[in-house]
Amino acid sequence: MSNVRVRFAPSPTGFFHIGSARTALFNWLYARHTGGKFILRIEDTDKERNTNEALRVLMDGMRWLGLDWDEGPDAGGDCGPYFQSQRQQIYTTYLKQLIEAGRTYEKDGAVWFKLEGERYTQYDEYKKAEVEKVRAAPVVIQDAVRGKVERSEELDFVLVRKDGNPVFHLVNVVDDISMGITHVIRGEDHLSNTSKHVELFRAFGVDPPVFAHIPLILKQSGPGKMSKRDQGALIEDYESRGFLPAAVRNYISLLGWNPKDDRESEKMEIEEIIELFDFPGINKGNARFDEQKLSALNTEYLRALNVESFAFLAAPFLIEAGTIDATVEEDYLQAVLRLCQPKARSLESLPELCRYFFTDSYLMDEKTAAKISKKSDPKVILTPILTLLKAHDCFTADAIYEALQDYSESQGVKVFSYFPALRFALSGQSGGPDLMPMLEVLGRARVVRRLQAFLA
Ligand code: GLU
């Protein structure tokens, strides 16, 4: 067993942002890779925003992604409580240590942290006033991703606000100490806090953990990091849009990390990701969100499902969209889904993809209609084909193909020349699953009925 202890320390706001999910995932991966422990700690110091509902969204999202925690809410553990709102006593005790060591002072009703070093005053352009600064020894952080980062704190900072609430820096560090955290893996936006945190660890007489600051996730296009309003930013949306959690997890693992082994496919089993995940594979440069890449991965995952699992996941989407109802015939549904599965980019795209299998009143795409009539009159093409299909007794894909082939030869044309009109008459579309299997699944009765209606 390893002594690695990592934590995900979100402040739940009601959304599970992809950036948070990625931080959670990287911590989880590192714990699973090393055989250490993954701790969920809730930084719920903002009573207005950190509601129970917000917590539920977060934990549901983590569970959906398969990120189980070894210690934390619902899981228990020796270092609880795992909610900052319930750790007041611990913060008071730790603060006392700093007070007794002479590392604090009071000013304007707040408790300040006193940096060590020579003090001097300097005119501050920003504050338009003289401020007291400190020549403190620079803090050197050996960041596991960014390498050596050096930074000097030169201003004392507040530990406990006037209202009696301890600030983020204090509670974050105290929790990392009291929970025995060995590695802090968090977003690069926290790098600016880390020198303060290191100062605090030292003041408590504790070696700081290893820090690993992971790159930002930029929005699909343009500058700036992904905000919660950007399409694809919220984990809960992926669930409702029918993405597979394994696909989303696979994709997120590659936002800022790569296995550096020239693989062909980015589709990786979670066991493999766990095995390969480590700090050297984390990029320094920012990652950019790419919805197409995520969709492509999701398609691969959907294709890899057996048809029963696919049908199980797909049915609610088809019911929700009104494509099928409880009266649908099970075998027919399975046959349709087997055919459409490879074409589905997501479960939410499925109703549109296969609606015509379940109703005779499908929409006839106008562009396709115009394109087809331009070549030759589809009615002229399809009239003899209707006669042929009506009379043909074996309605399998192969048999239908053979019959059409024979007929096309007798007419001196290629069999494929019939396909666009046939597909259009039967589905109203220009694309879809392979045509012959599509006819087989639709069955003779539907095919004949639809061709008759089309020709009428
Ligand atoms: N609550 C902080 C956040 O959500 C935690 C930062 C950290 O991981 O140390 O950004």
Domain ranges of the chain: 85-178+182-214, 235-301, 305-357, 366-455
At 446, the pLDDT band (50, 70, 90 cuts) reads: very high
At 375, the pLDDT band (50, 70, 90 cuts) reads: confident
pLDDT for the residue 346: 87
| Ligand 1, atom 10: closest residue by C-alpha | 10
Domain 235-301 has CATH 1.10.1160.10: yes
Query: What digits encode the pLDDT tens for the residues 411-445?
Result: 999 999 999 999 999 999 999 999 999 999 999 99
pLDDT for the residue 265: 87
Structure tokens at 276: 């390969």
pLDDT for the residue 263: 87
| Ligand 1, atom 4: closest residue by C-alpha | 10
**What residues flank ligand 1, with Cβ below 6 Å?**
9-11, 43, 172, 184, 186, 190
What is the distance between the alpha carbons of residues 61 and 278, in angstroms, rounded to a whole number?
Answer: 24
pLDDT for the residue 20: 98
In the beta sheet, which residues pair with residue 118?
135
Cβ contact 173:200 at 8 Å: yes
Same fold, 235-301 and 305-357: no
Superfamily of domain 85-178+182-214: HUPs (3.40.50.620)
Cβ contact 81:87 at 8 Å: yes
pTM for the structure as a whole? 0.90
pLDDT for the residue 353: 93
Catalytic-residue membership of 228: yes
What is the distance between the alpha carbons of residues 151 and 286, in angstroms, rounded to a whole number?
Answer: 21
Instruction: Kindly tell me if the per-residue pLDDT of 261 is higher than 90.
Output: no
Cβ contact 216:255 at 8 Å: no
Report the percentage of the chain scoring pLDDT > 70: 100
| Ligand 1, atom 5: closest residue by C-alpha | 9
What is the distance between the alpha carbons of residues 425 and 455, in angstroms, rounded to a whole number?
Answer: 9
pLDDT for the residue 71: 98
Instruction: Kindly tell me if the per-residue pLDDT of 336 is higher than 90.
Output: yes
Q: In the CATH scheme, what is the code of domain 366-455?
A: 1.10.10.350
Q: Quick check: bond before 437 cis, omega within 30?
A: no
Instruction: Kindly tell me if the per-residue pLDDT of 222 is higher than 90.
Output: no
Q: Which atom of ligand 1 is nearest to the CA of 8?
A: 8
CB-based contacts of 435-438 (< 8 A; 24+ apart in sequence):
436/397, 436/398, 436/400, 436/401, 437/339, 437/397, 438/339
Q: Which of 96, 162, 228, 371 is catalytic?
A: 228
Which among 260, 339, 254 has a CA at the least distance from the CA of 293?
A: 254
CB-based contacts of 315-318 (< 8 A; 24+ apart in sequence):
317/242, 317/347, 317/348, 317/350, 317/351, 318/350, 318/351, 318/354
Instruction: Kindly tell me if the per-residue pLDDT of 1 is higher than 80.
Output: no
Instruction: Kindly tell me if the per-residue pLDDT of 54 is higher than 90.
Output: yes
| Ligand 1, atom 3: closest residue by C-alpha | 10
Residue 405: CB atoms within 10 A of its CB come to 13
At 406, the pLDDT band (50, 70, 90 cuts) reads: very high
pLDDT for the residue 166: 97
At 69, the pLDDT band (50, 70, 90 cuts) reads: very high
pLDDT for the residue 264: 85
DSSP letter for 68, please: -
How far is ligand 1, taken at its centre, from the CA of residue 448, in Å? 63
Choice from 7, 22, 186 to test ligand 1 binding pocket (greatest atom count within 8 A of CB): 186
Q: In the CATH scheme, what is the code of domain 305-357?
A: 1.10.8
How far is ligand 1, taken at its centre, from the CA of residue 187, in Å? 8
- Residue spans of beta strands (DSSP E) within 80-181: 104-107, 110-113, 118-124, 129-135, 139-143, 147-151, 157-160
